[in-house]
Amino acid sequence: MNLKEKFRHVLNFPKEGIDFIDITTVLQDKDAFKYAIDSLVNLVKDLDFELIVGPESRGFIFGAPVAYVLNKGLVLVRKKGKLPYKTVSVEYELEYGKDVLEMHIDAIKPGQKVVIIDDLLATGGTTLSNIKLVEKLGGEVVGIAYLVELTYLGGRENLKGYDVRSVVQFESSLI
């Protein structure tokens, strides 16, 4: 399966100059979706951990099935104001904006090992804030896995010291 060719590039979305990687073309293709989930499972199955952290919204799509297959718990990171119980929060920046992310204060127990799963690594801003939330609660990030890594944005450099893994890499922007 050439998974890389299954992603649609939408140029200048949501802003001028962005080569947006559209995952919907992978999701709607049953073989590509299965291959994507299986690949993520294979990428993290050697790690020793209890929980997967999935950031809203595309992180849910990939974090949940991997947690199910590997028999792990799933912790949701949501955008401000969506979680019903008490939260820890952190402000973050991404390739095209700014926002606040939150996690329930009892989502992770001190010492628990977690793996963060998201669809895509761009600047690493989202993941850094996910790490901050996990570490605020005393959790340990033992791995971070993405379906797609945009290596030309250097996100991995912002995540030094962490075990960063990805299924597919794009080395240059089409813009």
Ligand X SMILES: O=P(O)(O)OC[C@H]1O[C@H](OP(=O)(O)OP(=O)(O)O)[C@H](O)[C@@H]1O
Cα(145)–Cα(139) distance, rounded to whole angstroms?
17
| Angstrom distances, CA of residue 119 to CA of 63, 78, 84, 109 | 9, 15, 25, 25
For position 166 contacting ligand X by CB under 6 A, the verdict is no
Is 58 a catalytic site residue? yes
SS3 66: helix
Positions of E strands within the chain: 8-11, 19-22, 51-55, 73-79, 87-94, 97-104, 113-121, 140-150, 164-170
Binding mask 47-76 for ligand X (x = CB under 6 A): --------xxxxx-----------------
Q: Which two tokens stand for residue 138?
A: 């005393």
Q: Decide whether 114 or 121 has the Cβ nearer to ligand X.
A: 121
- Residue number with the shortest CB distance to ligand ADE? 122
Q: Which two tokens stand for residue 77?
A: 């990171």
φ, ψ of residue 77 to 5 degrees: the values are: -105, 125
Binding segment toward ligand X, per CB under 6 A, in 31-39, 81-89, 120-128, 162-170 = 120-128
Is 140 a catalytic site residue? no
Interacting residues toward ligand ADE by CB under 6 A: 18-21, 94-95, 120, 122, 150
Q: Decide whether 14 or 138 has the Cβ nearer to ligand ADE.
A: 14
Least distance to ligand X, CB of residue 168, Å: 14
Cα(89)–Cα(13) distance, rounded to whole angstroms?
28
Query: Which among ligand X, ligand ADE, none contacts residue 149 (Cβ within 5 to 8 A by kind)?
Result: none
Active site residue: 78, 93, 95, 135, which one?
Answer: 95
Least distance to ligand ADE, CB of residue 56, Å: 13
Q: Decide whether 49 or 146 has the Cβ nearer to ligand X.
A: 146
Catalytic machinery residues: 58, 95
